[in-house]
Structure formats: C-alpha cells, structure tokens
C-alpha cells in the first residue's frame, strides 16, 4: 500500500482483490471530497456494486440507493440513484482525466453529481472540463483493472468497504 501523507483526505476502498488507496484532491474539488468522506463515514458505500464498467474506459459505482449488493441491488435501476444529501455543484478544473483519476458521475446537468463516481482505466481526456476530477488512485490500480466488465456486469464486483484513512 502507498504511503499515506494526508489520512483525512485519503480513501481506502476494499475490493475482493485488495485495497485501492485514493488521494482526495480537497484543494481542487473540496465539496466533492467532503461528500465522499461523508458517505464513507456513513457506511453508505459499503457493498455497493460497480454497475457500469467499460473496458478501456472506466468503472462506475456509488449508487448508494440502488446498488447495495447486500440490501437493495437492482441491476435495472443501478446508476439512477443518489444519496439523501443534496447534489454537489460542479468543481471543474484543469486536471485531466488520466488513468487512475476519480471523476464525479452525473446526469446531463453539470451540477447533479451526488454519490456516484468513476475511476478511469485509461487517459480519457475527452472528459476534461465536463466532469469534476476529485481524486486519484495512489495504489491498488491493479485491483481496479480486475473489476468485472459490463453495463451492468453479469456478476458485478462491489466495494466491500470504503473508509477514510484517518478512521481506519
């Protein structure tokens, strides 16, 4: 696992193959970073499926309303839900959507991000300036690369647990 420099702004996602450590970019997208920490601390991301995983593009998860594998997983609705909290306004920056960056998933409305996010499998610069970048994988990308593909996957992988490093 990578050295964690700022535990309060580091997320650890436990996948079936091992931990993924994400450095939150709270200086670039403070509202998005704060929301991810809030949902992690609520336990809302635990057991949530990766409901949209496109080879060579990205793995999307975070539908806390419809994609909990232990409670209310609904493959037909996964990707349509959000948390109980209000949407987060866009925090666009000059940071590119490079391999391993975390982007805020949203509807057509740029200010509709809520709980869902994606991890880029490759450099997806066509997304630059359209989706908020608010984190980057600093270790465990090899585990992200093993996430089951599909829209939705036949047997989706899930985030076993999601924790703020300072709480772990």
Domain that includes residue 83, residue range = 9-167
Question: Is 29 inside a domain boundary?
Answer: yes
Q: What is the pLDDT of residues 40-92, one digit of tens each?
A: 999 999 999 999 999 999 999 999 999 888 877 777 778 889 999 999 999 99
Burial class for 56, CB neighbours closer than 10 Å (0-12, 13-18, 19+): exposed
CATH of the domain at 54: 2.40.100.10
Question: Is 139 inside a domain boundary?
Answer: yes
Question: Is 1 inside a domain boundary?
Answer: no
Question: Is 2 inside a domain boundary?
Answer: no
* High-pLDDT (> 90) share of the chain, %: 88
Q: Give the H/E segment covering residue 37.
A: helix 30-42
Q: What is the pLDDT of residues 17-30, one digit of tens each?
A: 999 999 999 999 99
Q: Measured in Å, how far apart are the chain's first and last C-alpha atoms?
A: 14
Rounded-to-integer distance, Cα 57 and Cα 35, Å: 24
SS3 126: helix
């Amino acid at each position: 696992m990578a050295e964690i420099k700022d535990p309060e702004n580091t997320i650890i996602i436990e996948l079936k193959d091992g931990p993924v450590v994400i450095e939150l970019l709270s200086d670039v997208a403070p509202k998005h970073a704060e929301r991810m920490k809030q949902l992690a601390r609520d336990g809302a991301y635990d057991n949530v499926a990766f409901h949209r995983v496109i080879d060579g593009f990205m793995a999307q998860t975070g539908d806390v309303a419809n994609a909990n594998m232990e409670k209310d997983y609904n493959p037909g609705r996964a990707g349509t839900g959000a948390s109980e909290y209000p949407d987060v306004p866009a925090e666009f920056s000059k940071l590119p959507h490079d391999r391993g960056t975390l982007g805020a998933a949203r509807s057509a409305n740029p200010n509709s991000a809520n709980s869902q996010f994606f991890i880029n499998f490759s450099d997806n610069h066509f997304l630059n300036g359209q989706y908020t970048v608010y984190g980057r994988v600093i270790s465990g990308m090899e585990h992200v690369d093993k996430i089951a593909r599909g829209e939705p996957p036949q047997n989706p992988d899930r985030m076993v647990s999601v924790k703020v490093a300072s709480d772990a």
